[in-house]
Chain A
Amino acid sequence: MVFKMIGIVKRFGGLTALDHVDFEVGSGEVMALVGDNGAGKSTLIKTMSGAHAPDEGTIEMEGKLVRFRSPQDAWESGIATIFQELALAGKMTVVDNIFLGREIRKPVLGIPFLDRQAMRKRTGELLQQLDVHVPSIDSWVESMSGGQRQGVAIARALNMDARLIIMDEPTAALAVAEVRKVLEFIKTLRTQGKSVVLISHNIQDVFEVSDRISVMRHGRCIAVRETAKTTPQEIIGLITGAHEVRAAAS
Chain B
Amino acid sequence: MMSRLAGLRAGDPLRARLFMLLALWLVAIVVMSLLSPYFLRASTVPYLLQYVPILGLLGLGQTLVILGGGPGIDLSVGSIVSLVGVAVGGLFVLGVDIWLASALGLMLGALLGFVNGVLVNVLRIPSLMATLATMFAFGGLALATTLGSPIGGLPAEFGWLGQGRTLGLPNAFLFVLLPVAVILHVMITRTTIGRHIVACGNDDRAAHLSGLPVVRIRVGLYVLSGVLAALGSIIAMSWFLAARPDAGKGMELLAVTIAVLGGTHIFGGTGGVPGTIIAILIVTTLQIGLQLANISAAWQLGLIGVLLIVSVSRLSLWRRVKGARA
Q: Do A and B come from one complex?
A: yes
A interface, CB within 8 angstroms of B: 13-14
Mark B312-326 against chain A: 1 for CB-CB distance below 8 A, else 0. 000000000011001
- Cα-based distance from A185 to B326 in the complex (angstroms): 44
Chain A residue at minimum C-beta to C-beta distance from B322: A13
Chain A residue at minimum C-beta to C-beta distance from B323: A13
Chain B residue at minimum C-beta to C-beta distance from A12: B323
- Cα-based distance from A13 to B326 in the complex (angstroms): 6
- Cα-based distance from A169 to B323 in the complex (angstroms): 30
Mark B266-295 against chain A: 1 for CB-CB distance below 8 A, else 0. 000000000000000000000000000000
Chain A residue at minimum C-beta to C-beta distance from B324: A13
B interface, CB within 8 angstroms of A: 322-323, 326
**B37–chain A nearest beta-carbon distance, Å:** 49
- Cα-based distance from A14 to B323 in the complex (angstroms): 8
- Cα-based distance from A14 to B11 in the complex (angstroms): 12
- Cα-based distance from A14 to B322 in the complex (angstroms): 10
- Cα-based distance from A14 to B324 in the complex (angstroms): 10
Residues on the B chain within 8 Å of A13, using CB: 322-323, 326
**B253–chain A nearest beta-carbon distance, Å:** 31
**B321–chain A nearest beta-carbon distance, Å:** 12
Residues on the A chain within 8 Å of B323, using CB: 13
Residues on the A chain within 8 Å of B326, using CB: 13-14
Residues on the A chain within 8 Å of B322, using CB: 13
- Cα-based distance from A172 to B322 in the complex (angstroms): 37
CB pairs A–B below 8 angstroms (4 shown): A13-B322, A13-B323, A13-B326, A14-B326
- Cα-based distance from A217 to B326 in the complex (angstroms): 23
- Cα-based distance from A13 to B318 in the complex (angstroms): 13
- Cα-based distance from A14 to B9 in the complex (angstroms): 13
**B319–chain A nearest beta-carbon distance, Å:** 9
Residues on the B chain within 8 Å of A14, using CB: 326
Q: Would you list the 4 A-B pairs with minimal beta carbon distance, nearest first?
A: A14-B326, A13-B326, A13-B323, A13-B322
**A10–chain B nearest beta-carbon distance, Å:** 13
**B267–chain A nearest beta-carbon distance, Å:** 20
- Cα-based distance from A13 to B323 in the complex (angstroms): 5
**B187–chain A nearest beta-carbon distance, Å:** 32
**A9–chain B nearest beta-carbon distance, Å:** 14
- Cα-based distance from A14 to B325 in the complex (angstroms): 10
Chain A residue at minimum C-beta to C-beta distance from B11: A13
**A216–chain B nearest beta-carbon distance, Å:** 23
**B6–chain A nearest beta-carbon distance, Å:** 14
**B12–chain A nearest beta-carbon distance, Å:** 15
Chain B residue at minimum C-beta to C-beta distance from A15: B326
- Cα-based distance from A183 to B91 in the complex (angstroms): 74
**B17–chain A nearest beta-carbon distance, Å:** 19
- Cα-based distance from A13 to B321 in the complex (angstroms): 10
- Cα-based distance from A108 to B169 in the complex (angstroms): 72
**A230–chain B nearest beta-carbon distance, Å:** 38
**A14–chain B nearest beta-carbon distance, Å:** 5
**A54–chain B nearest beta-carbon distance, Å:** 15
- Cα-based distance from A197 to B207 in the complex (angstroms): 37
**B323–chain A nearest beta-carbon distance, Å:** 5
**B315–chain A nearest beta-carbon distance, Å:** 15
**A144–chain B nearest beta-carbon distance, Å:** 23
- Cα-based distance from A204 to B35 in the complex (angstroms): 76
- Cα-based distance from A13 to B322 in the complex (angstroms): 8
